[in-house]
Amino acid sequence: MRGKGRGGWEAGAKLGLPVVLFFCSLFFLVGFFGSVLLSLDISGGGETRRRFAESVDGDGEEILGMDYGETGEDLVSSIPFQVLSMRPRAVYFPKFATREQCQGIIKMTKPNLRPSTLALRKGETVENTKGIRTSSGTFISASEDKTGILANVERKIARATMIPRAHGEAFNVLRYEIGQSYYSHYDAFNPAEYGPQKNQRIVSFLLYLSDVKEGGETMFPFENGLNMDGLYDYKKCIGLKVKPRQGDGLLFYSAFPNGTIDATSLHGSCPVIKGEKWVATKWLRDQEIDKE
Ligand SMILES: *[C@@H]1O[C@H](CO)[C@@H](O)[C@H](O)[C@H]1NC(C)=O
């Protein structure tokens, strides 16, 4: 026993230098690569700013973020969406805004509502277009909102669409009461009817600020080319219908990527049958909005 032990010890002593060197290099390597990994992970303001996102995907796994630039974001975030149609390109964003944000927007705009107006075409007058759009509404820009709600919503729209905030008109907040509607129309201005456009509307983002008990759907009568035989009565509420749900967003494109107006983007607001409909609309243009 003793001899064996001593022998073992002697063997250990003989191996001493290589073993010590081995452990030294091991500790060095662990320390070196460990510090590199740590600097990738949690460095604040180092040249590498990759981070592990706090996000978790559906399987409960951590999502690894990526190196990002000066104008990027450090976290992977998630904005759920559902494609409702490819003709027109329409996408739904459930729970885009909170109930509190919706109520805040209603509260700040309610005192300023006026009957909504139309952009008139040749031959149209306020008189002969009566009934086309019967809602009340008001325009409000994010800078006019001291609570900061509209700025936050606007930022989120810019992140979801990747179209900068500067391309957006002021919010048009609308209220539809029982019987009120908006007949089918285009948001983009057809140059054949309105003349050449320097700055065209290409995207509409609707944020539903309230549920509607019955009616009040946003409808797309020409979805996937249906009802386009020229016989469609633009007062009729048919086709793809989107039922407003408080806090949810609906985005659709009025133009193709080449800038031509998409005929299937015709849409309207069905009459409210029960309850009240509140919606905040943000129109995004192909150019920045001039600041006067
Ligand atoms: C623009 O794109 C649409 C859809 O892809 C296409 O139908 C149309 O012909 C194009 N128009 C022009 C002028 O290129």
Q: What is the mean pLDDT of residues 62-72?
A: 92
Q: Is 87 in the pocket of ligand 1 (CB under 6 A)?
A: no
Q: Answer yes or no: are the C-beta atoms of 176 and 276 closer than 8 Å.
A: yes
Range in 53-62, 65-74, 81-90 the model is least confident about: 53-62
Q: Answer yes or no: are the C-beta atoms of 144 and 112 closer than 8 Å.
A: no
Q: Is 263 in the pocket of ligand 1 (CB under 6 A)?
A: no
Closest ligand 1 atom to 259 CA: 1
Q: What pLDDT was estimated at residue 271? A: 97
Closest ligand 1 atom to 260 CA: 1
Whether 4 has a pLDDT exceeding 70, the answer reads no
d(Cα 172, Cα 159) in Å, to the nearest integer?
Answer: 20
Q: How much distance in Å is there from the Cα of 145 to the middle of ligand 1?
A: 39
Query: Ligand 1 atom 9: the closest Cα is on which residue?
Result: 260
Q: Answer yes or no: are the C-beta atoms of 79 and 160 closer than 8 Å.
A: yes
Q: Is 256 in the pocket of ligand 1 (CB under 6 A)?
A: yes
Helices (H) and strands (E) in the chain, counts: 4, 16
The whole-model pTM stands at 0.80
Q: How much distance in Å is there from the Cα of 154 to the middle of ligand 1?
A: 30
Q: What is the mean pLDDT of residues 252-268?
A: 97
Res. 110 pLDDT band, cuts 50 70 90: very high
Q: What pLDDT was estimated at residue 28? A: 60
Alpha-carbon separation of residue 30 from 35, 112, 125 (angstroms): 8, 66, 79
